[in-house]
Structure 1
Amino acid sequence: MLENFPFYLAILIVILLLIMVANKIKVAYPVLLVLAGLAISFIPGVPLVNIAPELIFFIFLPPLLYEAAWTVSWKEMWRWRRIITSFAFIVVFLSALSVALVANYIIPGFSLALGFLLGGIVSPPDAVSAGAILKFVKVPKTISSILEGESLLNDASSLIIFRFAMIAVATEQFIFYKAAISFSWMIIGGVAIGLLIGWLFMKAHKYLPTDANADIVLSLLTPYIIYLAAEEVHSSGVLAVVSGGLLLSNNRHRFLSSKSRLQGVNVWESLCFILNGLVFMLIGLDLPEITKGLEAVNISLVTAIGYGVLITLVLIVSRILSSYGAVIVTLIARNFITVADSRNPGLKTPFILGWTGMRGVVSLAAALSIPVYLNNGNGFPQRNLILFITFIVILLTLLIQGLTLPYFIRKINFTAFEDTLPRDEAYHLLRKELAEHASNYLRTNYSDQIESNSSLQQLIQKWEQHSNGMDDESIGKDLKDIYLDLLNQQRQWLINKNKEDQSLDEAIIRRQMHYLDIEEEKLRYI
């Protein structure tokens, strides 16, 4: 391990550089990272990378899911709950079923149970890839909300299919009532455990004498404890982390201080940034190990690639057809129940929802977790071929769908699925209403102190200026540039002051520097 430490440091530097390049050329960084990992794996002398499934399931997956639960909007998830659950459960199941039927019919030696095993592995789209792509294109909030909500749940549904298929392959039987009980426990138990442990952590944040650093450390421990607790009782660790994360996210202002929230966001963004980068780089680096296993069972590379291409096509087509099916069902259901949006989205929006089917980390982790041997000592059937097909699916969906999705989004006119109000306009309207509320509150509750307190008069004047829109009119781009220049000059003055005055406590200088950083950050929201 230690002798390869310089190699891993170099990999981190390569990841950072490639993400910078991806942002520059406006390409989703998972695409570049997988290709780079693939290229690096062919360099002579490069250490062989063998990814343990526990590394992804227990190290990478809980914090990535938890961070996603903190950033997603529960209000939007609830609003689009029907279509989100349709994509996260029904569409995932239909994708797995399609793969199972095709694999059973086309691939020699593939039973229906093995087909469902492969289907459960490759059926969940990767949220990181879609999110990285959507940064560079403008889509209605509706679409992004549906994709974000789906990404929190589809991993759980696919892993449930995967577990049942594993049992069927290992025991060569499938007992329906036992499966139904196990399925119910995985969902109900996972959600219940996530909510319970999330509630306990919420009370710990609130009643223990924590500071910002302790709050951040507790938040880093939370997803791992939730995941491990759920997995220990054989429920869904994924659903547990998601439900616990949603509970804590929606109550963050009740138990976290503003400092904890501000610093915590920065820590979590940095952590998930590097975790996502490592995962996609490792996918590419793992190809030689996967290929070696393929050669061991005498399956030609060309044949295996053909199977991978076929399964990729099945996944793409089944998801697109399912997307149109979900829209049709919604249009029919609006005649009987209240739906979130009764407008007809047309033919283009379901296509975009269907095309965002890039696969990634969960698929690879599930494939790698297949045991080498069954309980009876025999080798697990078709394990190496399943691993290779999974890699081909990840690679092709990232390349084909990942590179073309921005093009399709730019070409499509979302007039039928527009947001009710442009986000910038809604933001400024909300700021104005908040300022009016603040001004009225001060005048109503502190009327006796207004005349004698000049600072309070200035505070009221500030919020009245906000309500009149004066801050938005005065803080234009030119004034922002001047203010940024002023802040930089103040920083330089503080640096010089710190050097010149040896008796001045540097902690005071750093505190004022922190204030200037907050002022600069505030410009982003004006």
Structure 2
Amino acid sequence: MPTSFTTDSFQALLLFLLLAIALFAGLAERIRVPYPILLVVAGLGISFVPHMPRIPLRPDIVFTIFLPPLLYAAAWQTNWRDFQRNLWPISMLAIGLVGFTVFGVAHFADHFIPQLDFRAGFLLGAVVAATDAVAANSIATKLGLSPRVTAVLSGESLLNDATALLALEFGIGLMMGHQTPTVMEGLGRLAWLVFGGIGVGLGLGVVMSFVERWIDSSELEMVASLVVPYVAYLVGEEARASGVIAVVVCGLFLSRRSSRYLSAPARLEILAAWKALDFLLNGIVFILIGLQLPEILTGIRHNDPWTLLKYGIGFSVLLLALRMLWVFPGAKLSFMIRKAITHREDAAPPDAKSSFVVGWAGMRGVVSLAAAYSLPYTLGDGEVFQQRNLVIFLTFAAILFTLVVQGLSLPVFIRKLGLDGSSELMEEELNARCRVLSAAIGQLKKQRNETNDEDHEHDLEDMMHLYEHRLSALRAKQSAMGLSQKPVHESEHQRHSRRADLMRESVRVERETLLAIREEGAIGDDVWRKLERELDLTETRFESFGEQLPAER
């Protein structure tokens, strides 16, 4: 933040940005556009407001303040099952595509951009080689991509930072005139980045999963969950491994074990708090990207605008073309490798539609821009790094193109190609709900058969009826969606609809009565909030997607 900012001006600017994030994110929700795209465009427009202060995007703040919690939140939400199943295509993108992009950009810059040579082009390629985990996760989730495509995109963006970091180290070494590492040295460095990061993440995850068992307070649980990503990142970086991979692995590890060490109230509160924090940090990051344009234009003001526009569009199209050229053969090669290793004959080969969407959805974001800003101002011989501002401009152009042009057109391709994964997820959810309820009913029946206490038997019968009604409602929904082989009679649909109306009416009466009691002064706000939370949980569970009834739609 500029040192010329006073406390009052900083507070006013922060308040303005928060209001802008809320306004444009709400607008994005109404027009059904992923909010990262609209926030970047909004930041771009706000940057031209007269007397708008310039807010530099400092790399140290991005990498040490914003990146760890955003990566941790993305890793926590990652589908581990699909991540495992698609590890080969993810690796092909996270490792192979990064190298292909770096050398492709280097050759393009050397031949088509007079201001850049091969070394500067190599550095530019390293800066933009990695897709952005924040952008990929936000946009892919919002657009409802199929689970496999989402897993590939999210996994790629979470892992490719290690290879991009290695390429950036090599690129800076080339520009500074240092000795170029050998292939074996490069592979050794990459291995340490990856496996060192994995070791740090797993080690911290094991320690935290043990420590968390001794914490009973949800407030302390929240504080611990905020500290973990920063510790993982800083320890990973201190060990000269990948801090990014350390955060990702730690997030994946703890997410898989959260059911064992987090209490139900703590889990509800932590997930709600992280959802708000993730949204806020995302909003700040994307709006800050748009606000960088005046600063970037100042650095290249001596260049011809039309030439810069041509370079920006040409470079952005090149990145898309390189990705497309790699994705299709890469998907086939990864399938062949996986089939040869697992010997699975039932594995479905990659289809062209999914490969196209994976290629089109390669978003760049704040990590690339922060990497560009972190480039040195002078070279090893003391000369000024004159191409630095052009590299930053081309990086910004690529971010803008991938987020806005590709991001806005992605929903159209998803609909046209039929890659919406909502029905697949819905089927999984309904099947899981039915199995869970069936297991609970089986346990209740077992207890009923073993008891000799009539009162206990009556209680068990009541519980069984409650679970059986819920199971019947889910099976009615499965039948209505064509997911069940056993059709459900229309009278059952009507019965479930009546029960739904009764439950909604009961919750409404309870809520109004509770408010009336509070207004009478019979209870304080503490008791009111506790009881209201219980009603909210009841209503939320009942209205959850899996238990909405066909007759209600």
Question: TM-score over 0.5 for the alignment?
Answer: yes
Question: Aligned pair in 2 of structure 1 residues 484, 300: CA closer, same or farther (>3 Å)?
Answer: farther
- Compared with structure 1, are the counterparts of its residues 245 and 137 closer, same or farther at alpha carbon in structure 2 (3 Å cutoff)? closer
- Deviations along 1:123-169, one digit per CA (max 9) or x if unpaired, are 22234434444455443222122222222112332222212222232
Superimposed CA distance per residue, residues 265-322 of structure 1 (whole angstroms, 9 cap, x where no aligned partner):
1111100101111111111111111111123xx3333323322222211110111111
Measured in 2, the distance between the counterparts of 1:482 and 1:68 equals: 39
Identity of aligned residues (%): 34
Task: Name the counterpart of 1:435.
Answer: 437
Residue equivalent to 1:94: 100
Segments of 5+ residues of structure 1 without an aligned counterpart are none
Candidates 293, 306, 311, aligned match of 2:310 = 306
Aligned partners of 1:35, 1:135: CA distance in 2, in Å?
20
Where structure 2 has 5 or more consecutive residues not aligned to the other structure, the ranges are 477-492, 548-553
> Is 1:227 aligned to 2:229, yes or no?
no
**Structure 1 residues 488 and 469: CA distance shift in structure 2, 3 A:** closer
Give the corresponding residue for 2:532: 513
Shift in CA distance, 481/170, structure 1 to aligned 2, threshold 3 Å: farther
Deviations 1:34-81 (A, max 9, x none): 121111111111111111111111111111110111111111111111
Question: Judging changes above 3 Å, is the alpha-carbon distance between structure 1 residues 469 and 496 closer, same or farther for their aligned structure 2 residues?
Answer: closer
Partner of 1:184: 191
Describe the SS at the equivalent of 2:364.
coil
For residue 497 of structure 1, the aligned residue among 482, 500, 517 is 517
The aligned amino acid for 2:131 is P
Q: 1:200 to 1:489 in 2, by over 3 A?
A: same
The answer to whether residue 492 in structure 2 is matched with residue 487 in structure 1 is no
Instruction: Quote the Cα distance in structure 1 between the aligned partners of 2:226 and 2:495.
Output: 38
**Aligned 8 A contact 1:305 1:389 in 2:** no
Amino acid at match of 1:206: R
- Provide the rounded CA distance (Å) in 2 between the counterparts of 1:259 and 1:217: 15
Alpha-carbon distance in 1 for matches of 2:336, 2:194? 28
Pair 1:42 & 2:48 matched? yes
Q: 1:202, 1:182 → 2: CA distance? A: 30
Shift of residue 236, structure 1, vs aligned partner? 0.6
Identify the residue that residue 451 of structure 1 maps to in structure 2: 454
1:480 to partner: Cα distance: 4.5
Match of residue 393 from structure 1: 398
CA contact (8 A) 1:41 1:285 kept: yes
One-letter identity of the residue aligned with 2:431: L
Q: How does 1:54-133 map to 2 (within 5 A)?
A: 54-133=60-139
Deviation at residue 471 of structure 1 after TM alignment: 8.4
CA distance in 2, matches of 1:480, 1:164: 63
Aligned-partner residue type, residue 196 of structure 1: G
| Corresponding residue to 1:256 among 258, 262, 282 | 262
Q: CA deviation at 1:116?
A: 2.0
The TM-score normalised by the length of structure 2 is 0.87
**Which whole-Å CA distance do the structure 2 matches of 1:233 and 1:505 have between them?**
53
Structure 2 match to 1:426? 428
1:368 to 373, 378, 390: 373
SS of match in other structure, 1:234: coil
Name whichever of 187-196 and 429-438 sits farther off. 429-438
Q: Is the 8 A contact 1:439 1:464 kept in 2?
A: yes
Deviation string 1:367-419 (CA, Å, 9 cap, x unpaired) is 111132346543234111111111111111222211111111111145xx989
Inter-CA distance 204–289: structure 2 relative to 1 (3 Å threshold): same
Residue type of the alignment partner of 1:236: S
Using structure 1 for the length normalisation, give the TM-score: 0.92
Distance across 2 between alignment mates of 1:436 and 1:450: 24
Secondary structure of 1:371's counterpart equals: coil
Task: Return closer, same or farther for 1:424/1:154 CA change in 2, 3 Å cut-off.
Answer: same
Question: What RMSD, in angstroms, separates the aligned Cα atoms of the two structures?
Answer: 2.5
How big is the shift at 1:83? 0.7
Which moves more between the two structures, 20-29 or 452-461? 452-461
Aligned to 1:286: 292
Distance (whole Å) between structure 2 residues aligned to residue 513 and residue 101 of structure 1: 63
Q: What is the CA–CA distance in structure 2 between the aligned matches of 1:465 and 1:382, rounded to whole Å?
A: 69
Secondary structure of 2:383 counterpart:
coil
